[in-house]
Amino acid sequence: MIRFEGATKTFPDGTVAVGGLDLLAATGSITVLVGPSGCGKTTSLRMVNRMIEPTGGRIMIDDRDTASMDAAQLRRGIGYVIQHAGLFPHRTIVDNIATVPRLLGWDRSTTRNRALELIERVGLPASFAGRYPHQLSGGQQQRVGVARALAADPPVMLMDEPFSAVDPVVREQLQEEFLRLQSELGKTILFVTHDIDEAVKLGDQVAVLRVGGVLAQVADPATLLRDPVDDFVADFAGRDRGYRGLGFRPAPSLTPRSEPAVTLGTSPEEVRRSGNAWVLVVDDDRRPLGWVEPARVTEPVATDRLHRGGTVARLDGSSRAILDAALSSPSGRGVVVDDDGCLLGTVTSAEVVAALQSPPGPDSSGQP
Amino acid sequence: MTWILDHLDDIGYYTLQHAWLAALPLLLGLLLATPLGWAARRYRGLYTPVVAGTGLLYTIPSLALFILMPLILGTQILDPVNVVVAMTIYTVALLTRTVADGLGAVPDSVIASATAMGLGPVRRLFTVELPLAVPVIAAGLRVAAVSNVSIVSVAALIGVPQLGSLFTDGFYRDFLDPIVAGLVACVVLALLFDLVIVVLARLLTPWLRTGGAP
Ligand SMILES: Nc1ncnc2c1ncn2[C@@H]1O[C@H](COP(=O)(O)OP(=O)(O)OP(=O)(O)O)[C@@H](O)[C@H]1O
Ligand SMILES: [Mg+2]
């Protein structure tokens, strides 16, 4: 657990970067600090490992005042990941990852095995061990940055915009894998970003800061999107927060309508039989593949004729996913599948919206 | 030409003298310039005075410096220590800025992550910053090496034997052979120093000789 108690940083030039921050980052969960540029996110983070010394208040880790601990000792127990990874250009990947274990005096083979294990853990091939950082892409370097921070298995991790320097597709991958890793490791994580979407996606708890390092609101992502405390937070939470908020609301209980589906290779006559403008195509295990327009089918159904625009939702997924399935489907009928990905039926956006408007059930604000 | 063949022993002796009088100050100068360059980086206010101040040392005429050395150090006029100290001063003049700029070129994100992992300032300097500054420092060393080989020859005027002695010898006797021999030996020596520095720098920077991202 990390606890900021009135933590303050006034720089020598008089800039108040952080003004009396009170915040609790619970053990084993991800707390995201989010806010506009210059609002003191990095400063707050760096006060935890004392790369920046607070000028007021204190910061406790598991009820120990960080000010009373030896700085180097403190830092070796805290993983730190930054934008652009900050890997040592002159050390190989395995040596980069081994940095803290070596400082801690682990023996050679334990250190090396740990580094090799982490390389695979963060989704990189073992053959990267002997490479230098410049031989890796930005996204790969960032993975090594995460591996290096995890090397000595620190209970606490500080992450400063770790994924913001990579392209959106890679960022999404890194975020997914980060959540997967965290579900296995259960670290206490303080995560800084200026991207509210990233904040609500990753955070168990999101703290919005305003300039001057003052806490505007701290809440779980669903609450933040549904109930911002003031205009600043509302503005920051972004425009389509109503829609995005559905991502944190479980899908309403709906009974999918049964959908006539055809398999690949079905003849044009057969496809036209239902009389619908769009017909769903499934594989032999009834997993949805895409839609076809009977009017345009002249040969037996083949994969290259499929319209694949529609997303697929599950009944136990989020409201956003099921609404999106309906909205993205060319037929207007959103495809719903079971846990194995097999077709259950379809729902329309009207049905989803109607179900969403009915009074929410007791656990409607819970996590997806 | 026969003069050269007859005096190979002397030329060899002068070359060895010249080599150590140029090389030792190069090492001493690097040892002194490293903390100076580090301090110039570490404390912002120091950069300009330290870099400009050491740079100015290079403008002292070498003959004047050689002559002043015994007065300052209290040594004999013929003592090679005079030459070593003077040449060390020139090396510091050239290398302080190089070291400061080399350390300054280490990316902030690398320094920040080193600090965040609990590397203290000294360990960080020796295991991260200096290794990364090697290419810049090596470039500065090559300049300093050539400069040293050239300036040492002036010490012939205060009677310290090295290749410069061949120039004065040829000059007094109005005889070209020793001058040519001295020149060639100086050039060879300078090239040799250069080669040694390039090879050492390459050995110290294996990461620079790997291809880019696949
Ligand atoms: N060393 C310093 N001296 C003076 N002011 C500083 C110093 N470091 C940061 N600041 C100021 O403190 C404020 C907070 O900076 P900080 O780096 O914490 O912001 P941030 O929220 O991380 O911003 P960004 O999203 O742009 O990274 C800024 O106004 C910044 O200019
Ligand atoms: Mg920042």
A vs B, Cβ pairs < 8 A, gives 77
Contact list in A for residue B211 (CB cut-off 8 A) is: 135
**What's the gap in Å between the CA of B208 and the closest CA on chain A?**
8
Tell me whether strands A2-10 and A16-25 are parallel, antiparallel or unpaired: antiparallel
Task: Give the start-to-end residue ranges of the domains of chain B.
Answer: 2-205
* Shortest alpha-carbon distance between residue A132 and chain B (Å): 6
**How far is CA A201 from each of CA A248, A365, B70, rounded to the nearest angstrom?**
9, 15, 74
Compute CA distances B54 → A28, B90, B119, whole Å. Answer: 54, 9, 30
The residue whose CA is least distant from atom 16 of ligand 1 is A40
Whether B211 contacts chain A with CB within 8 A:
yes
A61 beta partners: A2, A64
| Tens of pLDDT, residue by residue, chain A (368 residues) | 999 999 999 999 999 999 999 999 999 999 999 999 999 999 999 999 999 999 999 999 999 999 999 999 999 999 999 998 999 999 999 999 999 999 999 999 999 999 999 999 999 999 999 999 999 999 999 999 999 999 999 999 999 999 998 888 889 999 999 999 999 999 999 999 999 999 999 999 999 999 999 999 999 999 999 999 999 999 988 878 888 889 888 999 999 999 999 999 898 888 888 888 999 999 999 999 999 999 888 889 888 888 888 899 999 889 999 999 999 999 999 999 999 999 999 999 999 999 988 765 555 444 44
Fold of B2-205: MetI-like fold (1.10.3720)
Do A209 and A351 meet the contact criterion of CB atoms below 8 Å apart? no
Rounded Cα–Cα distance for residues A25 and B28 (Å): 52
Whether A85 has its CB under 8 Å from any CB of chain B: the answer is yes
Chain B residues with CB under 8 Å of A78 CB are 116
Whether the CB of B205 is below 8 Å from some CB of chain A: the reply is yes
**Taking a C-beta distance cutoff of 8 angstroms, is the pair B55, B97 a contact?**
yes
> Which of B112, B205, B214 shows the shortest C-beta gap to A82?
B112
What domains can you pick out in chain A, each with its CATH number? 2-248 (3.40.50.300), 261-356 (3.10.580.10)
| Residue in A13, A34, A42 to alter for ligand 1 test, most ligand atoms within 8 A of Cβ | A42
Angle between helices B130-152 and B176-204 (to 10 degrees): 180
Residues of B in contact with A141 (CB under 8 A): none
Q: Are strands A333-337 and A214-219 parallel, antiparallel or unpaired?
A: unpaired
**Rounded CA separation A240/A245 (Å):** 8
Instruction: Please tell me the distance in Å from B136's CA to the nearest CA on chain A.
Output: 14
Q: Is B213 on the interface with A (CB under 8 A)?
A: yes
The ligand 1 site (C-beta within 6 Å) comprises: A 11, 13, 15, 17, 37-43, 194
Neighbours of A194 (CB within 10 A): 17
Q: For A238, which DSSP code?
A: -
